[in-house]
Amino acid sequence: MAKQVSHLELAHLCSRVYDARGPEVRSRHETDVLIEDRGDVIILAVRGTEWSNAWPRNWSWEGLSNLRDVARDLWFFPWKDPVSRTWVHSGFGWSALTWFRRYRTTLQKTNTRYIVTGHSLGAAIAPQLARMMKLHGWQIDEVVLFGEPGGHYWGSRDNYAALNIPTTSYRTRWDWIQAAGYGRTVPRTILETEGLGPRESHQIEAYVESMAAQELVTA
């Protein structure tokens, strides 16, 4: 029997991808995905927006790279995904498609299970990537999202729901992301954060701490 991966473990991976380097991270046009092979399941953790060094705050190559993350968040006009033929947020859908086209031949398919997760921008890209993989024959066991902005337009969310991928989308109660975007993947599961404002509540560290506290209460 496959060992279950806790959502707290996935939150930790979403935190780790912000700083991870090396062969376990595969990138395409600044879409970074941490790939962790646990033998019975492979986890894909998609990095969120890295805005702390974004130009013009920091004139550097890293700053310019961070600016591309911000641009994808703002590139919100509807775009028709050529895989599902539904309309999605162009920045999120295009990022998923370009990453998928670059790495699809390297992703194991036969007798392989996947979990796809992400935070913030990564939480918006993750369901689009999972949908593309599912439609091309990969087995997606679960999608887990932290602080997801809306990225589905018109029939896109129904198209995703028809794929029957078990999906959980967490949001801390005061996370400012609740006002961002249109058409979230599934209804939110609300987490509590004590003494944090909207900005701090959006950080992946807040999700990790809140979920860890929740696990202690329910243990």
Residue 204 neighbours by CB under 8 Å, 6+ apart: 11, 14, 15, 18, 48, 119, 120, 146, 147
Q: What is the pLDDT of residue 3?
A: 63
Any domain includes 130: yes
* Token code pair at residue 69: 């993350």
Is residue 26, in this structure, part of any structural domain at all? yes
The CATH number given to whatever domain includes residue 138 is 3.40.50.1820
pLDDT attached to residue 158 = 93
With 0-12 / 13-18 / 19 or more C-beta atoms within 10 angstroms meaning exposed / middle / buried, residue 214 is middle
Instruction: Provide the pairing of β-strand 188-191 with 167-172.
Output: parallel
Whether 83 contacts 132, CB under 8 Å: yes
The answer to whether position 168 is within a domain reads yes
pLDDT at 202: 87
Q: Give percent above pLDDT 90 in the chain.
A: 51
pLDDT at 76: 62
Mean pLDDT of 101-115: 93
Pair of tokens at residue 96: 């998923």
pLDDT given at position 77:
76
Examine residue 90 and state whether it is found in any structural domain, yes or no. yes
Q: pLDDT at position 215, please?
A: 67
Q: Is residue 65 part of a domain?
A: no
Domains identified in the chain, total number:
1
6 pLDDT higher than 70:
yes
Portion of the chain with pLDDT greater than 70, in percent: 84
Q: What is the full DSSP assignment across 22-34?
A: STTEEEETTEEEE
Q: Which of 19-23, 92-96, 115-119 has the highest mean pLDDT?
A: 115-119
Among 107, 81, 104, residue whose Cα is nearest residue 94: 81
Residue 58 lies in a domain: no
| pTM higher than 0.85 | yes
Counted residue by residue, the chain has a size of 219
Distance CA(28)–CA(51), nearest Å, equals 18
Give tens-digit pLDDT for 117-174.
999 999 999 999 999 999 999 999 999 999 998 888 988 999 999 999 999 999 999 9
Q: What is the pLDDT of residues 27-79, one digit of tens each?
A: 888 899 999 999 889 999 999 876 544 334 444 444 444 445 444 445 567 88
The boundaries of the domain holding residue 197 are 7-49+79-218
Is residue 128 domain-resident?
Answer: yes
DSSP 179: G
Q: What angle do CA 140, 42, 8 make, to 5 degrees?
A: 90
Rounded Cα distance between 141 and 59, Å, is 42
- Residue 55: inside a domain, yes or no? no
